[in-house]
């Protein structure tokens, strides 16, 4: 994992935010010498983080401008956009520079314009969709557990977040966007795509401590990613909020993800398997680790050579076993229940 001393900085737009600052720290932990540029409006905050990281600086970003407000000679090794860039100017900037781009805030109904920009210039840059749950880590974990099966029938992902685990203003804006409920959540049911509503959009599930939750389907990119990567005929991801008042005394914010798979196992028997991921932290931690792992892979600093131009989902870039190992190392409890 040696870093070329001449490597240009990774530009993290939104790098001073709740997820962004943790992604920058996670990347610094993985790649001690990789130059990083924190892009944001508030330079005081961005500069303070850059000083803390070392080998980093800060730039003011203006998403109203085609050049993002950056000087003409500016050059980066990747552009990571950790906020909803409605203009997609940051994506076009990365394509113009011919460097990898990460889109982190797109729900399943958001990706049309980015797909069109990719199709328009397919050879310009690698573009990674990473709006997936917890920075792609859940899809990768699911594919790791799926290796036990010869043929998958269904994938049910359930999650419980603390109601106070809301992220920063940008994340709250995104939640409001979804809550306005323009499109219904997308699920795959018995081989057919459904924009679920009414009873189809809710599902009961058992939490890690046995609590029974009522989850609501969520329009995340994990569902189409897993449909493309497996032969499961039913796939969904449902989400419940734990009231802060029900948190055990003295326990901070935490979250859990349950991955239940049914199908034909390698030995020919049919069965259901349940895996649980428990992280004693806000969800920005796992999400940030997903970003950092994706950046080092895109740049060719881990897991293979620099990634060629193309349109990618996380499972097209990262090895599920490697990611599980990294998550365990950083404290996520992963168990087969
Ligand atoms: N895929 C996933 O796993 C996942 C997980 C969690 C969150 N998210 C998404 O990640 C995004 C960030 O969430 P967060 O909780 O980190 O929010 P946040 O704390 O509000 O961070 C937003 C960051 O973007 C900067 N920013 C905001 N508007 C800007 C603009 N117009 N131009 C330039 N910089 C701007 C902010 O700095 P200044 O205010 O100084 O500009 C800050 O650095 C949200 O879109 C959220 O939905 C995705």
Give the position, in ligand 1's atom list, of the atom nearest the Cα of 174: 47
Tell me, in angstroms, the distance from the centre of ligand 1 to residue 130's CA: 14
Residue 171: CB atoms within 10 Å: 21
Closest C-alpha among 157, 237, 257, 236 to residue 190: 236
Q: What is the DSSP letter of 229?
A: H
pLDDT (tens digit per residue) in 313-328: 999 999 999 999 999 9
Q: Which atom of ligand 1 is nearest to the CA of 62?
A: 32
Distance of CA 323 to the CA centre of its chain: 13
- Does ligand 1 come within 6 angstroms of the Cβ of 320? no
* Nearest-angstrom CA–CA distance, 207 and 191: 27
Q: Does the beta carbon of 17 sit less than 6 angstroms from any atom of ligand 1? A: yes
* Cα 329 → chain centroid: 18
- Ligand 1 within 6 A of CB of 286: no
- Pocket of ligand 1 contains residue 215 by CB under 6 Å: no
Q: Which of 13, 20, 9 is nearest to 41 (CA)?
A: 13
- Quickly tell me which residue has 């990706």 as its tokens: 111
Q: How far is the CA of 169 from the centre of ligand 1 (A)?
A: 7
Q: Name the E strands within 177-269.
A: 186-189, 192-195, 202-206, 212-217, 234-242, 255-265
Q: What is the topology classification, in CATH, of domain 10-133+285-319?
A: Rossmann fold (3.40.50)
Q: Where are the alpha helices (DSSP H) in the chain?
A: 18-30, 43-53, 89-97, 112-120, 137-146, 169-179, 222-229, 283-298, 320-329
Shortest-distance atom of ligand 1 to CA 130: 1
Which class in CATH covers the domain with range 136-282? alpha beta
Tell me: the pLDDT tens digits for 77-93? Answer: 999 999 999 999 999 99
Which atom of ligand 1 has the smallest separation from the CA of 175? 47
| Domain ranges for the chain | 10-133+285-319, 136-282
For the whole model, what pTM was predicted?
Answer: 0.96
State the distance from the centre of ligand 1 to the C-alpha of 14, rounded, in angstroms: 5
Helix (H, G, I), strand (E, B) or coil at 262: strand
108-148: per-residue pLDDT in tens?
A: 999 999 999 999 999 999 999 999 999 999 999 999 999 99
18 lines ligand 1 (CB under 6 A): yes
């Amino acid at each position: 994992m040696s870093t070329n001393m001449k490597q240009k900085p990774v530009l993290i737009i939104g790098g001073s935010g709740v997820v962004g600052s943790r992604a920058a720290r996670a990347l610094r932990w993985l790649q001690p010498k990789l130059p990083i540029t924190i892009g944001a409006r508030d330079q005081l905050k961005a500069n303070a983080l850059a000083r803390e990281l070392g080998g980093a600086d800060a730039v003011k970003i203006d998403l109203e401008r085609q050049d993002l407000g950056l000087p003409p000679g500016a050059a980066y090794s990747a552009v990571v956009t950790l906020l909803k860039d409605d203009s997609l100017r940051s994506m076009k900037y990365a394509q113009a520079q011919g460097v990898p781009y990460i889109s982190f805030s797109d729900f399943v109904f958001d990706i049309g314009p980015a797909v069109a920009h990719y199709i328009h210039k397919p050879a310009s840059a690698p573009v990674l969709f990473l709006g997936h749950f917890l920075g792609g880590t859940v899809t990768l974990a699911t594919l790791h557990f799926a290796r036990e099966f010869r043929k998958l029938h269904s994938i049910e992902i359930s999650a419980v977040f603390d109601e106070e685990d809301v992220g920063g203003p940008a994340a709250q804006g995104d939640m409001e966007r979804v809550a306005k409920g323009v499109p219904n959540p997308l699920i795959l049911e018995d081989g057919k795509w459904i924009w679920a509503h009414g009873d189809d959009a809710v599902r009961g599930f058992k939490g890690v401590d046995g609590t029974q939750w009522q989850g609501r389907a969520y329009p995340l990119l994990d569902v189409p990613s897993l449909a493309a990567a497996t032969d499961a005929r039913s796939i969904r991801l449902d989400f419940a909020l734990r009231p802060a008042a029900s948190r055990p005394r003295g326990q901070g914010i935490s979250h859990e993800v349950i991955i239940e798979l049914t199908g034909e196992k390698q030995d020919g028997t049919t069965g259901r398997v349940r895996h649980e991921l428990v992280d004693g932290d806000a969800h920005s931690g796992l999400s940030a680790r997903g970003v950092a792992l994706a950046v080092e892979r895109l740049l060719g600093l881990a897991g293979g050579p620099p990634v060629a131009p193309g349109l990618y989902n996380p499972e097209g870039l990262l090895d599920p076993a490697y990611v599980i190992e990294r998550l365990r190392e950083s404290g996520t409890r992963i168990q087969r229940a």
